[in-house]
Every structure is written in structure tokens, then in C-alpha cells.
Amino acid sequence: MDAPHQPSRPAERPDTLSRRIELAVEHGLWSARLLTFLAVLASLAASIAMYYITIVDAGMLFHHVLSYGDPAKLAAERAELRAETITHVVEVVDGFLLATVLLIFALGLYELFISPLDPARGSRFYSKVLVIRDLDDLKSRLGKVVVMILIVKLFESGLDMKLTTPLDLLTFAGAVALIGVALYVSHSHALPGAHRDSERGH
């Protein structure tokens, strides 16, 4: 008796094999987004370092302020100490802003590329810090803080600026006007009409 006929197994179609290879490559590329975690850790470490440095600077600032009321100090010395104190206060504000930028950057990268921060979603502060839908949202939030840092740096430089000629005064006034324009542009989307237009655009 003849053996029962065994149906021959069809050869794997080339398109099926290429599809499997394509899926494997795409899976590997998608998993590569986890490399962003290194940037998250580095940004978080830099943020912690900036917070530490700025807190130390703030402590040194208060140490110098305690000597401001020394009766033995001359008026000129007190005026110099006051100017230095204002400059140091601006530097402290600048340091905290930079540390905040790095922290927002780390949290935003994690949410965009790795996983949503579930504990943060239950916090009442979430909507004020981490409503980030895409990379443009992250860049927008970081851009606003960077603008504030630049404003603080300009203010710090303005404290040491010597306005000796009308041109110096005009240049300084122009810089202040440009700051106002930058603030208006960076916050223009917060206006009611602009917000509705952006929502319709999506």
C-alpha cells in the first residue's frame, strides 16, 4: 500500500521574510528611544548640582548680608556691599532658573520618550508643570524659562553698566524694550484667542 501523500510545505514567501526583518528592525529602532533615559539621568544630575551650588551661594549671600548692619562700616563700604548683594541675589535667581530648566527638561524627556509619570498625574501641580503633548510643548516651556534666564543675566549686567553718554542710555532702553517684546511673544499663546486658535489648528 502506498504511503499517504504528505502535502509539501510551501516555501516561505520572500515578502513574508522581508516583513519579519522589517518588523525586527523597526522594533529595535523603537526600543532605541530608551537611550533617552541617559539624557534624563544626566539632566537630573546637572539639575541637582545646580540646586546645590545655588543653595551654597545663597548661604554665603546671607553670611555677607549679616555684616551689612555693622556700625563700623563706612557709607561707601555699605553701598558697595549693597551693590554686591543685589548682584549675588540675581545670580542666585539665575542659578535656580537654570536648575529648573534642567529638571523640566529631564521630566519632559521621560514623559515623551519613555513612559508617562503616573504619580505626577494625580498631583495638583501636574497641569502647571508637565502638560507636555509633544516635543514642541517641551521646547515652548523650556524656551520661556531660557528667556527668563537671559532677562536675569541682562539685569545682572545692567547693575554694573555705567551709563555715561546718551547713546549708552538709548542702548539700555532698547534692550529693555526688546525684553518686553520677547516676553509678549513667548506668552502670546496664553491669550484666550490664541489658545482657541491653537486648539482649532490641532
DSSP secondary structure string for all residues of 34-86: GGHHHHHHHHHHHHHHHHHHHHHHHHHHHHHHGGGG-TTS-HHHHHHHHHHHH
Which pTM value belongs to this model?
Answer: 0.66
- The pLDDT score that the predictor gives to residue 23 is 86
- The pLDDT score that the predictor gives to residue 47 is 94
Winning range, highest mean pLDDT, from 52-61, 62-71, 78-87, 126-135: 52-61
- The pLDDT score that the predictor gives to residue 5 is 54
Residue 98 has pLDDT above 80, yes or no: yes
Q: Report if residue 87 sits inside a domain.
A: yes
Residue 70 has pLDDT above 80, yes or no: no
Segment among 2-6, 24-28, 46-50, 139-143 with least mean pLDDT: 2-6
Q: Report if residue 9 sits inside a domain.
A: no
Above pLDDT 70, what percent of the chain? 81
Give the DSSP letter string of 8-36. PPPPPPHHHHHHHHHHHHHHHHHHGGGGH
Contact in structure between 169 and 163 (CB atoms under 8 Å): yes
**Amino acid at site 58:** A
Q: Report if residue 107 sits inside a domain.
A: yes
Structurally, the chain folds into a number of domains equal to 1
Cell matching residue 148: 527668563
- The pLDDT score that the predictor gives to residue 2 is 52
3-class DSSP state of 165 = coil
Q: Report if residue 46 sits inside a domain.
A: yes
- The pLDDT score that the predictor gives to residue 9 is 54
Q: Report if residue 199 sits inside a domain.
A: no
Exposure string of 163-180, with b = 16+ CB inside 10 Å and e = fewer, is eeeeeeeeeeeeeeeeee
Q: Report if residue 167 sits inside a domain.
A: no
Q: Report if residue 175 sits inside a domain.
A: no
3-class DSSP state of 200 = helix
What confidence category does residue 42 fall into, taking pLDDT thresholds of 50, 70 and 90? very high
What confidence category does residue 149 fall into, taking pLDDT thresholds of 50, 70 and 90? confident
Q: Phi first, then psi: give them for residue 174, nearest 5 degrees.
A: -65, -40
What is the separation, in whole angstroms, between the first and last Cα of the chain?
73
Winning range, highest mean pLDDT, from 6-10, 101-105, 182-186: 101-105
| Domain interval for residue 67 | 29-160
Closest C-alpha to 111, from 139, 140, 128, 131: 131
What confidence category does residue 113 fall into, taking pLDDT thresholds of 50, 70 and 90? confident
Report the alpha-carbon distance of residue 149 to residue 44 in Å, rounded. 19
Cα angle vertex 176, ends 171, 178, to 5°?
A: 95
Residue 44 has pLDDT above 60, yes or no: yes
Q: Report if residue 137 sits inside a domain.
A: yes
Cell matching residue 123: 498631583
